[in-house]
Structure 1
Amino acid sequence: MASSDCKISPIISIFVFFLFLNSSSVCPVCSSESGEFNRVNQTFHAREELEKLKMIRAHLMKINKPAVKTLQSPDGDLIDCVASHQQPAFDHPQLKGQKPLDPPERPKGHHSNRMGSENYQLWSILGESCPEGTIPIRRTSEKDVLRASNVRKFGRRITKPIRRDSSSNGHEHAVGYVTGDQYYGAKASLNVWAPRVANQYEFSLSQMWVISGSFGNDLNTIEAGWQVSPELYGDNYPRFFTYWTSDAYQATGCYNLLCSGFVQTNNKIAIGAAISPTSSYNGGQFDISLLVWKDPKHGNWWLEFGSGVLVGYWPSFLFTHLRSHATMVQYGGEVVNSNPSGLHTSTQMGSGHFAGEGFGKASYFRNLQVVDWDNSLIPLSNLRVLADHPNCYDIQGGINTVWGNYFYYGGPGENSKCP
């Protein structure tokens, strides 16, 4: 018996071993539990996705207003012509039931040229425009919102792009700026490019910032310019944009008309729409003018884009510090560097070429001015220039009789000196 037991023992051991290996298939209870877990898990994810979709559609219903007319842009955008009094701004409790204000008096010393100034967006390149009494709004799609890293923060900046130590959060700048006085507006002309953006989570822009408050939680900014942002728009076209915040990009403000705030008064300019034409290296240069100024009568901050076209205004009540005046004005470029593969990004700023290459090759800002307490445009007296990483993107300032205060700026990002 002892001998027989010894012979059987290895067979039993092998059987037990295989039984253990295949426990999920031979144990009906275990198999049942595993299947149930998978079913519950799938149901949970399905419900989660459904809730996300419901939230997106509710948000789209809020920002995509009923259209009187819809136009198709060559780049695929849908432009809705929305009754002026139904635009997103009038969802704000302090604007409900109101209508856009009449244009204010422009700053003294301001000269505008309206010739050909309204046909520099792709959607209106064939002369299309919205009817009087309506404004053009780029329709936001489900795809637009789904590209956002956070649905609740769609249309908002997640980080603070203005601070001088901003390189720590991936934002890099080459800017000219003035500070130390009271500013009631700013003006500049800048050329438009189509810089390469390395991935969906980065952007490249050129803009003006009108700033007040500290760089803590009470920062107020008004911003306008052009940007290439695949995450926000789903393509690589340079687009006219606006932004504002009254609490350092935390809970207030947004891009364009993606929240209640900016009041648009123009029926020919679509904020967020692609700009055309653009500048070419060693070729034709296309620039636009931007003017932001505070209406002395009502205190609202108005925006002019192009060569004399009023776009609309930011009501003064949106702000805390900017209810009175700005304490800093910045002009220049900004990119997001997400350090792909541990290297500096190859996202370009401006033309993608350094400032030293000059006209026709580098990006520029020219005729820089500010608005003083008397609603007069005046030249800058103390322009400073600063680049966070001059080996990646740099800046060179100057002054002459034709361009007044100006600077060249930009760069390619990753290169032998910017690894």
Structure 2
Amino acid sequence: MTDQTLAIDFGTSNSAAAVLVNGRPYRLPVEQGAETLPTAVFFPANKGRMRIGAAAARALTSGEEGRYMRALKSVLGDPLLHEARLIEGRRRTLSEVITAFLTAVREAAEAQTGQRFARALSGRPEHFHTRDAARDAQAEADLRACYAAAGFKTVDFLFEPEAAARAAHGLGRAGEIGLIVDIGGGTSDFSVFRTEDGRPRILASHGIRLGGTDFDHAVSMTHAMPLLGYGGTLRREMGEGLLPVPNALYADLATWARIPFVYTPETRRQVAEMQRLATDRRAMARLATVLEDELGHDLAFAVEAGKIGANGDGGAGRISMGLIEPGLAAPVTGDTLDAALARHRAPLRAAAAETLEMAGVAPEHVGAVVLVGGSSLMRMVPEEMQALCPGAELRMSEAFTAVVDGLALASAERG
């Protein structure tokens, strides 16, 4: 067997792997025939085999005892990555968890192809952390170390929107200016390109730390968390007047990467005390149930489903919270979804405008906006891009696989 390069799109929400076969990307069905898999792991309570992707989600939703973890990419560059925590009977760091996920992807790819992959070409966002060069560099170093620990001797990185541009279909006529808009789970990345000889030439790239998990957080805080006591009040132990319910726990519970760490004895004691003093004891009792039964991820999945439903043609979704209390649900309409996400519109448009400015391209000269990444399907994204570039044609690329396809194409130049 010879060393081959494995293209890996390690995403905040979803990941994919591919190789180049006869000059074309071949996406590896790493998990049960699917070309992508959720970036998630599940450690069973009985110390059984770790599961990844959809299998991890099934273990969680089936009620199996264990620890589910998702959105691990978001902690790269953060000291939290290297803090050892007790996870189902063993102390592990999140760095070790990411390494285990990448190892599983490599081993699955090798089993399917019969090849050994000592080299990886990985996508990376323009910025893991917006306008923080030190943390950005640390995040790439962290990810590089995880790849090395996962058995790759060499790893190279390519910016994700540049990879997506390589794979974009229908780039248009020679000389056309295009804007790649790649909205992933954790970051939003932009590249301006000019079509030359049927291929894109990158003129400028830029990105910000904002993505689908932030959208989920906003919907959760505005729709689900009020039913758990968020925004409520507590009676004072002594004296008159009321105090606001602390926000920190709700913010953690609405953040995919932090959910596993809210189930502590200290947090449960804090909520029991808040329940005693709450003016809305029923809502606080629901919060206690979430912690006691460890339903944070179930709630996060329900929020994601409600967001997607409200973003669809019908404009109506529902956050089902029946596991917390029978019949409990939070409706999500197109209008309430827009209100929840309103504050994210300006940063998206500003980042795209800044990319155009970096490229020296006026918005009216953009002929095509190519949407990439699962979260680009949120209707506010094409709305904002169309408002910025009113003369551009909106084109949908392969939302979930454009980056890994582009990485596979680029691997020919690196191998």
With the length of structure 1 as denominator, give the TM-score of the two structures.
0.23
With the length of structure 2 as denominator, give the TM-score of the two structures.
0.23
